Structure 1
Amino acid sequence: MYQYDQYDQAMVDARVAEFRDQCERRLKGELTEDQFKPLRLMNGLYLQLHAYMLRVAIPYGTLNSKQMNMLGHIARKYDKGYGHFTTRQNIQYNWIKLEDAADILEELATVEMHAIQTSGNCIRNISSDQYAGAAADEITDPRPWAELLRQWSSFHPEFSYLPRKFKICVIAADEDRAAMRLHDIGIQLVRNEAGELGAKFFVGGGMGRTPMIGPEIRDFVPADELVHYAEACLRVYNRYGRRDNKYKARIKILVHELGADEYTRQVEEEFAHMKTLGLNPPLAELERISGYFADPAFDQDASDDLDLSDPDFRIWVEQNTHPHKQPGYAIATISLKPTGGIPGDATAEQMELMAELAREYSFDELRVTHAQNIVLPHIRKADLYSVWRKLDAAGLAPANLDLISDMIACPGLDYCSLANARSIPLAQKISERFADLDRQRDLGELKLKISGCINACGHHHAGHIGILGVDKKGVENYQLSLGGSGAEDVSLAKITGPGFTEDGVIDAIETVTNLYLERREDGERFVDTYRRIGMEPFKEALYG
């Protein structure tokens, strides 16, 4: 994984010192909250319902054991003993004191971490495939390009005050495990007919109150021009994006209103101009970065044999591991979705255990997924049983990856000042209703996603089943949507009809899943059956 050079470290250290001064001035009353707000947001610090929330960047979801240990240490010392992993592959702490904020950032800087650009109208954390560099189906490791984009976008003077926040995703496989087309810019690394490496660009995706799927605007950008093309996309947006109405400020609105063809024409014009300026990062820089992502020293003699005599272990292997590009190895996902638990939460002790397992079994590497889980990317198959037993003892071995209980949920009204309804208690009740693992496995792949407000931090638009919490005359109400997907078969969910109470929406989920079981054909997932039979049978079952 990437390691800071002297420029990275100096940049982060300088920002810590600057923010320490700003916090001290706020605590002394020398800055009002209105004056302090844009300063704290530039450092990932939000003021929520009960306390400050700090969002820490984990670029493209990759971190090592020292960094994971630090996250556990911060949870124990400065929070209430836990942290919340998010759909941006970051971590949030929900109970931060302002007087501690600079100390936390200083401690993070000692392990090459920060909270820069995790908030504000700038380019946010670059996200990627959680299996990058390990998956058998990718054409190359996308993380060197994600890192190049991170370096290019950090403190970029032209893009520090965009019309609205901006999110970029880079993948390198046909299977989309990162909701790439629901980003402001989605980049898929591909090879052309000549075998040359390049990228498809999708621009104008996003969720929130106006969900849109990003259209493809170019089918091949040469790999060494990828950053230039991303910059051209952003320049057009920065020039014409709405700044008078925050609800119409995202690039998806600009692409929609201009039309994809006209937006693309302007990007191509800007791209041609930029190529005359000589601003593209030199190939030597990409080569330097790529050196940090070389394959670890795999055991070339590692065996593919696996003893599956323990039935619980066998189910976990079937459900929570993924094919690795190296024979004798597997990718293992640690589920942070226990029955009755809070999706994405991990205690300090659990973080420390995950760090220990990464150090001992996974070449000192972990990944955060956009579905709020943790991945050990490089496990010898011979070590899987030992890893599973340690995870199981710590409550980290639910065998539920991609099942109904492996749901995404935002913090909702328990923490967020923007939320209209609670997400966490609802997620806990759903996981308890569907706790039986045999039942979950019979339902098969079923992506359930919950948002506590229209901002869609829980990605409900992309759920096979999506739930949106709304305020209905002062009472929490939940809209049910069906048919969404954030994967390569990307689609937006459609609302079934009138909303439900908290208990009512759980019953509604049971109703639609029972109908699916009655109507599915061989090999169909829930979303496949929905697409085949349409909304009407589900509405009839729900509303009569």
Structure 2
Amino acid sequence: MYQYTPFDRQFVQARADQFRDQLQRWETGRLSEEEFRPLRLQNGWYVQRYAPMLRVAVPYGEINSAQIRVLARIAREYDEPDAQLYQDALKTQGAMGTTYLPTHYAHFTTRTNVQFNWIPLSKSADVMDLLASVNLHGIQTSGNCIRNTTTDALAGVAVDELVDPRPYAEVLRQWTTLHPEFAFLPRKFKIAISGSAEDRAATGWHDVGLHLVKNEAGEIGFKVFVGGGMGRTPVIGTPIREFLPWNQVLNYIEAIVRVYNERGRRDNKYKARIKILVKAEGQTYIDSVEEEFRQIVEVDGGPHTIPQAEFDRVAACFVAPDLSAYPQVNATEAKHLLTEQGAREPAFGRWVSRNVRAHQNPQLRAVVLSFKRVGQAPGDASGEQLDALAQLVDQFSAGEARVTHDQNVVLPWVHVSQLHDLWLQAKALGLASTNVDLLTDMIACPGGDLCALANARSLPIAAAITERYQDLDELDDIGDIDLHISGCINSCGHHHSGHIGILGVDKDGKEWYQITVGGSDGAQLSGAPQAGKVIGPSFSAAEVPGVIEAVLSTYRDLRSNGERFIDTVRRVGLDPFKEAGKSARLPEAADTAAETTEA
């Protein structure tokens, strides 16, 4: 992974020092709350429903064991609210049912960042210093700027990879950090890069999606998509360039953002995303970007053209670990070893088939550790779990891990001879659930339990579904499926792209849930990206698990030749699933439900 230079380290520490000064001025009254708010937001500090929330940037998901240990320490020592504040929060949530307000936890997000929900602002500067000690920070994890660039969790190891996207993501990270052109955009701005045949980075759902490609001459470049996004108006990105030379990507993104900065709406935050501009202007927007790009390159001299030497410097950081200490095995031997071990221990064999991914190096595998379990919110990790994870990362993955879009963690450098030992240790820690890509491997935002923006609670819904589906044989029979849950229309749980999506909505001050079917993020499992469709009236929280069960039962009745859920939906249409939802409605809820559609 990328190695910070002395300048990089000095930059991050200077930002932490600056924040400490700003915090002290706010605490002593020299900065008003209004003046301090944008300063803390620029460093990832929100104030949520009950307490401050810190969002830590994990660029393109790569993280090392030292960084994980610091996150563990922050969870243990700092993620603890004032006792009275916490008791008041528990009372408020207790009136709504089961509470999900864990302390001493970190949370993996769909943007591969890490969040903490209970750190007092009085301790925030100390936390920033701790983060800076391992090259972490919260810069540009908030605000109307270019956010954390994301990519494939299997980048650099995927067998279908054409070009490793990580060096390009790192160049983008450095260039976009505190870039004045991107500091005050009409709205937040998100970029994703894919370098593989399968788009595991969900690029179609981003403001800018970049696909690494090669032209007929074998030259590397990007296919560029613009204007994707979720929220109130789900839109799939529009392709605007079939081939952009790789070294021009910064100049081209500057052109994209300049036109957006000039013409994007600032009078309505729901219409301020670039997707609205692209949809409204169509070819006019594309032509304007091309003209701006021409001006940048021909008139300004292409000031952001990436020098080959600088790219090579960055790319040299992304190298495979030394394998000399491990036994040398070929692909056939590796496969035989795992088959033999799986035959002796079927539970291990199930884990290999479900949680272990093929690797460019036949001696290695990439392993998904599941952070989805009963009694714990999707993507949550305690301080103790993070410490244990760091140990696994050191012992089995050359000190490196990846936070995934699906709120799990990947170990990308595991030797086949160590898979069984890793499985045993992960199982003892509760991180070896064989549910990856299955129903209980769901995405869920924190929702109304913690987020001030949420209309409804996501986590009790996730818990109810998880508890109902604990039979692994039943989960395997249902097969690969994406279930995504959002607590509000901001779509942090990416409900639009779920094969089944659940969206919390407010109706007369009460929590209700819309259910969508047929969405996809663009990965091979799902096919082309598309937004799911609402299958009927909104449902009460008590009804949702039954509706999900009815939808899945309908699928199992209708599927043909073992086809996946998403394939059955596309073949038979939505009507059978709408009827399934109606059949699962509770009598008392049917009298009060009303048809709702997303604006």
Report the residue type matching 1:436 in the other structure.
D
The structural deviation recorded for 1:281 is 2.8
Residue 166 of structure 1 corresponds to which residue in structure 2? 189
Asked if 1:263 corresponds to 2:290, the answer is: no
Greater radius of gyration (CA): 2
CA contact (8 A) 1:340 1:431 kept: no
Map 1:129-528; keep pairs closer than 5 Å. Answer: 129-259=152-282, 261-276=283-298, 277=300, 278-279=302-303, 280-298=305-323, 301-302=328-329, 303-304=333-334, 305-306=337-338, 307-308=341-342, 309-488=344-523, 489-528=528-567
Asked if 1:91 corresponds to 2:114, the answer is: yes
CA contact (8 A) 1:339 1:405 kept: no
Asked if 1:111 corresponds to 2:146, the answer is: no
Q: For each residue in 1:468-502, what CA deviation from the matched residue of structure 2 results, as whole angstroms up to 9, or x when unmatched?
A: 00111111101100000112421100111111111
Structure 2 stretches of 5 or more lacking a match?
A: 80-102, 584-599
The structural deviation recorded for 1:6 is 2.0
For 1:211 and 1:27, the matched residues in 2 are separated by 41
Bigger CA drift: 197-206 or 351-360? 351-360
The structural deviation recorded for 1:23 is 1.0
CA contact (8 A) 1:58 1:113 kept: yes
Report the residue type matching 1:77 in the other structure.
E
The structural deviation recorded for 1:296 is 2.0
The structural deviation recorded for 1:523 is 3.8
Residue 102 of structure 1 corresponds to which residue in structure 2? 125
CA contact (8 A) 2:162 2:197 kept: no
The structural deviation recorded for 1:541 is 2.2
For 2:13 and 2:306, the matched residues in 1 are separated by 24
The structural deviation recorded for 1:298 is 3.5
Residue 23 of structure 1 corresponds to which residue in structure 2? 23
Residue 97 of structure 2 corresponds to which residue in structure 1? none
Residue 6 of structure 1 corresponds to which residue in structure 2? 6
Query: What's the secondary structure of 1:38's corresponding residue?
Result: helix
For 2:30 and 2:573, the matched residues in 1 are separated by 59
For 1:156 and 1:84, the matched residues in 2 are separated by 28
The structural deviation recorded for 1:92 is 0.1
Report the residue type matching 1:235 in the other structure.
R
CA contact (8 A) 2:61 2:153 kept: yes
Q: For each residue in 1:79-114, what CA deviation from the matched residue of structure 2 results, as whole angstroms up to 9, or x when unmatched?
A: 132100000100000001011111111111110111
| Alignment coverage as a number of residue pairs | 543
The structural deviation recorded for 1:195 is 1.5
For 1:193 and 1:455, the matched residues in 2 are separated by 41
The structural deviation recorded for 1:4 is 1.1
Bigger CA drift: 235-244 or 444-453? 235-244
Query: What's the secondary structure of 1:521's corresponding residue?
Result: coil
TM-score (norm 1): 0.98
For 1:140 and 1:365, the matched residues in 2 are separated by 20
Structure 1 stretches of 5 or more lacking a match?
A: none
Report the residue type matching 1:193 in the other structure.
E
Report the residue type matching 2:9 in the other structure.
Q
Q: For each residue in 1:362-386, what CA deviation from the matched residue of structure 2 results, as whole angstroms up to 9, or x when unmatched?
A: 1111000011000000111110110
For 2:567 and 2:37, the matched residues in 1 are separated by 45
Q: For each residue in 1:283-305, what CA deviation from the matched residue of structure 2 results, as whole angstroms up to 9, or x when unmatched?
A: 21111000000222245823412
For 2:195 and 2:203, the matched residues in 1 are separated by 10
Q: For each residue in 1:212-242, what CA deviation from the matched residue of structure 2 results, as whole angstroms up to 9, or x when unmatched?
A: 1001111111111122212211111111111
Asked if 1:34 corresponds to 2:34, the answer is: yes
For 1:540 and 1:432, the matched residues in 2 are separated by 25
Change (3 A) 1:523 1:176: farther
Query: What's the secondary structure of 1:537's corresponding residue?
Result: helix
After superposition, the CA RMSD in angstroms is 1.1
Q: What's the % identity of the aligned pairs?
A: 52
The structural deviation recorded for 1:125 is 0.6
Query: What's the secondary structure of 2:115's corresponding residue?
Result: strand
Asked if 1:77 corresponds to 2:77, the answer is: yes
CA contact (8 A) 1:482 1:495 kept: yes
TM-score (norm 2): 0.89
The structural deviation recorded for 1:24 is 1.2
For 1:463 and 1:298, the matched residues in 2 are separated by 38
Query: What's the secondary structure of 1:292's corresponding residue?
Result: coil
CA contact (8 A) 1:466 1:482 kept: yes
CA contact (8 A) 2:170 2:314 kept: yes
